[in-house]
Amino acid sequence: MTTIDVAVLGATGMVGQQFVARLGNHPWFNVTRLAASERSEGKRYEEATVWRLPTPMPEAVRNLMVDACVPGRGPKVVFSALEAGVAGEVEEAFARAGHIVLSNARNHRLDPLVPLLVPEINSDHLSILAEQRRVKGWSGAIVTNPNCSTVVLVMALAPLQRFGLTSAVVSTMQAVSGAGYPGVPSYDILGNLVPHIGGEEEKIETETLKILGSDGGRTMHTMVVSAHTSRVPVIDGHTMTVSVQVEAKAELDDVREAFTRFSGRPQELGLPTAPVPAIILHEEPNRPQPRLDADLGGGMAVSVGRLRTCPVLSYRFVAMGHNTVRGAAGASILNAELMQAELQCLS
Q: Which residues are catalytic?
A: 148, 238
Region of 115-123, 256-264, 299-307, 320-328 interacting with ligand NAP (CB under 6 A): 320-328
Give the three-class secondary structure for 332: helix
Contact between 10 and ligand NAP by CB under 6 A: the answer reads: yes
Please give the residues from 267 up to 306 whose contact with ligand NAP meets the rule CB under 6 A: none
Contact between 234 and ligand NAP by CB under 6 A: the answer reads: no
Triad 83, 88, 94: Cα angle to 5°: 105
Rounded Cα distance, 338 and 343, in Å: 8
Out of 94, 100, 104, 274, the only residue in the binding site for ligand NAP (CB under 6 A) is 104
Region of 33-41, 184-192, 208-216, 227-235 interacting with ligand NAP (CB under 6 A): 33-41
Out of 3, 27, 72, 84, the only residue in the binding site for ligand NAP (CB under 6 A) is 84
Out of 26, 28, 40, 340, the only residue in the binding site for ligand NAP (CB under 6 A) is 40
Contact between 148 and ligand NAP by CB under 6 A: the answer reads: yes
Rounded Cα distance, 219 and 57, in Å: 42
Nearer to ligand NAP, 104 or 243 (CB): 104
Contact between 237 and ligand NAP by CB under 6 A: the answer reads: no
In sequence order, the 6+-apart residues with CB closer than 8 A to the CB of 218 are: 112, 128
Nearer to ligand NAP, 150 or 340 (CB): 150
Out of 172, 177, 303, 340, the only residue in the binding site for ligand NAP (CB under 6 A) is 177
**DSSP at 273:** T
Sheet strands (E) in the chain: 4-9, 29-36, 66-68, 77-80, 100-103, 141-144, 165-174, 224-231, 238-246, 279-281, 302-309, 315-321
Contact between 324 and ligand NAP by CB under 6 A: the answer reads: yes
In 3D space, the residue among 29, 78, 30, 20 whose CA is nearest the CA of residue 52 turns out to be 20
Buried b (16+ CB within 10 A) or exposed e, 88-110: eebbbbbbebebbbbbbbbbbbb
How many CB atoms neighbour CB 320 within 10 A?
31
Rounded Cα distance, 149 and 8, in Å: 23
Minimum distance of ligand NAP from residue 104's CB (angstroms) = 4
Contact between 181 and ligand NAP by CB under 6 A: the answer reads: yes
Contact between 176 and ligand NAP by CB under 6 A: the answer reads: no
Give the neighbor-by-neighbor strand order of the sheet with 66-68.
66-68, 29-36, 4-9, 77-80, 100-103, 141-144
Out of 75, 119, 327, 330, the only residue in the binding site for ligand NAP (CB under 6 A) is 327
Region of 76-84, 130-138, 268-276, 305-313 interacting with ligand NAP (CB under 6 A): 76-84
Region of 4-12, 196-204, 241-249, 302-310 interacting with ligand NAP (CB under 6 A): 4-12
Rounded Cα distance, 55 and 52, in Å: 9
User: Which residues make up the interface to ligand NAP (CB under 6 A)?
Assistant: 10-16, 36-37, 39-40, 69, 81-84, 86-87, 104-105, 148, 177-178, 180-181, 323-324, 327-328
